[in-house]
A and B are shown apart, each in its own frame.
Chain A
């Protein structure tokens, strides 16, 4: 079955450590997205990528970094510069910015807790 796989499901980090969240999709989608979810805040866009080797900052990119070396993969690194990294992180993908498809498909999410 096609879909988006996020790993790990739960991750604990000590302050000052960088961590990387994995997002892999086998939907052959061009565009991929990272969202952060906090209680009472809805989902906020961190980074997005429309095509391999290209990505754009979203609304809350500070303290995060991404790469898009392969179409299937869009890992998110939470750096030590992120002041409040404890949150639920959701990865999503979309068929293509100009394909006419306008629905985002989401992964199951990763819960990051800073100790």
Chain B
């Protein structure tokens, strides 16, 4: 079984600052996917960014980027030029590749509550 650990229950930064959320995971799989989901106060889960483990290049989506360290089993999320609308719970999640049984969905960390202060 795989586990996902987010060691920062809550973080607070000023608007326009850069913030990094940490995530580590444990798995014996060699091929898998990693995700960051955002859950704003509306509680709707929104995909922020995803990374395929076989890709060495770190994924980037506008102000969001990841630092994927496969050997260290680390997958941190960096938010640049943070905005008030970034205030939300952020969940790191793991999915096995289909060949390894990915049909059973996502394994989530416990989340980091990010607060952007004006």
Residues of A whose CB lies within 8 Å of any CB of B are 31, 33, 35, 40-45, 48, 50, 56, 58, 88, 90, 92, 94, 97-98, 100, 102-104, 106, 108-109
- How many angstroms from the CA of A94 to the CA of B104 in the assembled complex? 10
Q: A102: which B residues are within 8 A, CB to CB?
A: 33, 50, 95, 98, 102
Interface core residue of B9, B44, B50 (most chain A CB under 10 Å) = B44
Does B103 count as interface, using CB distance less than 8 angstroms? yes
Query: Can you list 24 contacts pairing A with B, beta carbon distance less than 8 Å?
Result: A31-B103, A33-B106, A35-B108, A40-B111, A42-B4, A42-B91, A42-B109, A43-B106, A48-B103, A48-B105, A50-B103, A56-B104, A58-B104, A58-B105, A90-B45, A97-B98, A97-B103, A98-B98, A102-B50, A102-B98, A102-B102, A103-B50, A104-B106, A106-B44
Interface core residue of B35, B45, B91 (most chain A CB under 10 Å) = B45
Q: B91: which A residues are within 8 A, CB to CB?
A: 42-43
Does B110 count as interface, using CB distance less than 8 angstroms? yes
> Which of these, B33, B47, B103, B111, contacts A42 with CB under 8 Å?
B111
Residues of B whose CB lies within 8 Å of any CB of A are 4, 9, 33, 35, 42-45, 47, 50, 91, 95, 98, 102-111
Q: A94: which B residues are within 8 A, CB to CB?
A: 105
The distance from the CB of B78 to the nearest CB of chain A, in whole angstroms, is 21
